């Protein structure tokens, strides 16, 4: 705590009085300095204790006016060490702390604590927490003595988090109120976490969340009916083919370290399943076609595929399981698909995110062969310029497309800006978008990311020359375009834009208006109509 000036003066006076006495009598010997440091330390601690006690006595009436319930609630904001410190401030604080078991119901052992200190902390907290449900978290490997101290209290475990694979015997004790079980993976995990057979049926009636590294399903084919969230690693090649049988009420499933031959869940997904996440091992791109086949007729609100080799299979799974309008965004190696819910009901939302997809490896003919019929419901398309140029070669039809955002995000897009590919080919390219009303060119690629210094000028040139040619000769749309907008790194400089050319452009393509936006798309810098 902070000391007042008078208290500090008292400490200094007492300490340096001792210092003066010692220096006068014994400063010539080594032992004298050892005694000096010991006496100084004792003097400081004594003076601090006296000052703190005086402070407590003078202000105890103020502290005691605070209801114990309020103090206990405020102490919940503190971590364990701060609560211990607070309990040493005064007897009133200590009484409040020790009389509030909720403050000690979380046992967290960090890697900085030795086994002996950790054991003492575990024993103290288990005693102080009375009979409340417990949260035990070992952020390092738990010693056998620590586990033995916890074991008699497993019946009141609500959350158990371990670092490293526990022995099967640790998990065999009854845990009737366990809700969350988490095991952090070790760097060199050699054995899977065995889900205890005793947890099946009604063995763990409150268990909701399982988060494991490499795992092994119970050898008894009985369900864990209460588990709703399961995440684990497929690193040691477990057989997860019957996972849906074990977890019939899953809401979210996440599997990482997936390979093309992983034994992922098969059969019909639970009706409750809403979210699926599959991530490839070491971000190696794989084909998820077989892995996601069970979800072909099961609408999911969220699908996450990390490092997918192809776009067609997940896009087909996504589009054929709903009948609502949808949007697609493809840029910077990421494809995101989203449906439009009814009103603002987020429960009707569905997202597909794909990792490690670049514009150059999207096989648009294959995509169109599998999902072309569903593009009749696409209303918003946000796509990188290079990917858009490739898409145009298959002459797609998107009759309900209203908003088209074309992005310049990487060197491939920059090359397409400078040398539009469709202008040098004898083959026809087209896009049927009868309801198209708005086109935006968004440039995020800048000099810091490796773009040419004149990237803004090149993009404006594309806007003035290539886009009109594209609209006249390649894009089929009915009626008037309502808006064309441009946003790039240099849009904060209004002098950089040829307003007259933009006006002529608007007249040539029969636009209602053209907008030039700043880099954050927050305000118009120039409008030509």
- pLDDT tens digits along 111-143: 777 778 778 778 877 777 778 788 888 878 887
Q: pLDDT digit string (tens) for 295-330?
A: 988 888 888 888 888 888 888 888 888 888 999 998
Percentage above 70 pLDDT, the chain? 77
So what's the pLDDT on residue 255?
94
268 to 95, 247, 293: CA distances (angstroms): 57, 12, 10
Residue 434 resides in a domain: yes
Residue 182 resides in a domain: no
So what's the pLDDT on residue 23?
58
DSSP, collapsed to helix, strand or coil, labels residue 17 as: helix
Q: How many domains does the chain have?
A: 2
Residue 345 resides in a domain: no
So what's the pLDDT on residue 187?
62
Most trustworthy range by pLDDT among 269-273, 306-310, 406-410: 269-273
**Domain's final residue, options 65, 85, 108:** 65
Residue 357 resides in a domain: no
- For residues 120 and 341, the model is more confident at 120
**Domain's final residue, options 9, 42, 65:** 65
Q: How confident is the model at residue 265 (pLDDT cuts 50, 70, 90)?
A: very high
Residue recorded with tokens 């997904």 = 269
So what's the pLDDT on residue 528?
38
Residue 363 resides in a domain: no
Q: Quick one: average pLDDT of 43-54? A: 73
The whole-angstrom separation of Cα 108 and Cα 104 is: 10
Residue 438 resides in a domain: yes
Residue 177 resides in a domain: no
Residue 327 resides in a domain: no
Q: pTM here?
A: 0.74
- For residues 422 and 263, the model is more confident at 263
For residue 529, is pLDDT > 60?
Answer: no
- For residues 352 and 348, the model is more confident at 352
**Domain range for residue 487?**
375-529
The whole-angstrom separation of Cα 475 and Cα 489 is: 27
The whole-angstrom separation of Cα 240 and Cα 216 is: 8
For residue 20, is pLDDT > 90?
Answer: no
Q: How confident is the model at residue 522 (pLDDT cuts 50, 70, 90)?
A: very low
Give the list of residues 6+ apart from residue 422 with CB closer than 8 angstroms, or none: 389, 392, 393, 429, 470, 474
**Domain's final residue, options 44, 65, 86:** 65
Q: pLDDT digit string (tens) for 435-464?
A: 998 888 888 887 777 777 778 888 888 887
Continuous H helices in 340-404: 364-371, 385-392
For residue 209, is pLDDT > 90?
Answer: yes
Parallel, antiparallel, or unpaired: how do β-strands 431-432 and 438-443 relate?
A: unpaired
- Please list, residue by residue across 446-456, b when 16 or more beta carbons sit within 10 angstroms of its beta carbon and e when fewer do: beeeebeeebb
């Amino acid at each position: 705590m902070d000391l007042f000036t008078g208290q500090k003066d008292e400490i200094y006076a007492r300490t340096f009085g001792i210092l003066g006495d010692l220096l006068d009598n014994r400063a010539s010997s080594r032992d004298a300095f050892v005694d000096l440091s010991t006496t100084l330390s004792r003097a400081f601690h004594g003076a601090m204790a006296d000052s703190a006690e005086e402070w407590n006595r003078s202000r105890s009436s103020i502290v005691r006016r605070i209801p114990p319930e309020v103090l206990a609630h405020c102490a919940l904001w503190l971590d364990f060490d701060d609560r211990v410190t607070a309990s040493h401030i005064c007897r009133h604080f200590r009484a409040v702390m020790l009389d509030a078991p909720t403050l000690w119901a979380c046992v967290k052992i960090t890697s900085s604590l030795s086994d002996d200190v950790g054991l003492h902390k575990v024993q103290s907290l288990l005693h102080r927490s009375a009979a409340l449900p417990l949260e035990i978290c070992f952020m390092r490997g738990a010693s056998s003595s620590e586990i033995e101290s916890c074991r008699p209290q497993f019946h009141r475990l609500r959350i158990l988090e371990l670092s490293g694979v526990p022995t099967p015997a640790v998990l065999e004790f009854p845990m009737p109120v366990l809700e969350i079980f988490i095991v952090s993976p070790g760097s060199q995990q050699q054995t899977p976490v065995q889900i205890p057979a005793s947890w099946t049926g009604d063995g763990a009636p409150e268990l909701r969340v399982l988060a494991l590294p490499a795992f092994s399903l119970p050898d008894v084919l009985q369900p864990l009916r209460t588990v709703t969230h399961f995440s684990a690693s497929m690193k040691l090649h477990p057989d997860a083919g019957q996972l849906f049988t074990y977890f019939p009420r899953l809401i979210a499933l996440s599997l990482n370290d997936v390979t093309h031959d992983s034994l992922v869940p098969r059969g019909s997904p639970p009706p409750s399943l809403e979210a699926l996440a599959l991530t490839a091992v070491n971000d190696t791109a794989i084909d998820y076609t077989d892995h996601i086949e069970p979800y072909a007729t099961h609408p999911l609100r969220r699908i996450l595929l990390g490092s997918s080799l192809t776009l067609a299979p997940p896009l087909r799974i996504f589009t054929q399981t709903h009948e609502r309008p949808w949007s697609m965004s493809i840029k910077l190696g990421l494809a995101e698909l989203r449906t439009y819910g009814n009103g603002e009901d987020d429960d009707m939302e569905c997202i597909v995110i794909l990792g490690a997809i670049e514009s150059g490896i999207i096989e648009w003919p294959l995509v169109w062969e599998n999902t072309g019929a569903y593009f009749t419901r696409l209303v918003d398309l946000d796509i990188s310029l290079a990917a858009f140029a490739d898409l145009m070669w298959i002459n797609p039809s998107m009759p309900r497309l209203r908003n088209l955002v074309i992005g310049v995000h990487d060197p491939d897009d920059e090359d397409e800006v400078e040398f539009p590919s469709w202008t040098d080919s004898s083959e026809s390219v087209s896009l049927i978008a009868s309801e198209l009303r708005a086109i935006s060119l968004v440039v995020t690629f800048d000099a810091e990311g490796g773009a040419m210094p004149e990237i803004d000028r090149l993009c404006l040139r594309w806007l003035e020359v290539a886009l009109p040619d594209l609209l006249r000769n390649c894009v089929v749309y009915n009626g008037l375009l309502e808006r064309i907008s441009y946003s790039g790194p240099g849009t904060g400089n209004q002098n950089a834009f040829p307003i007259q050319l933009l006006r002529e452009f608007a007249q040539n393509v029969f636009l209602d208006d053209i907008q030039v936006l700043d880099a954050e798309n927050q305000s118009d810098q120039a409008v030509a109509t």
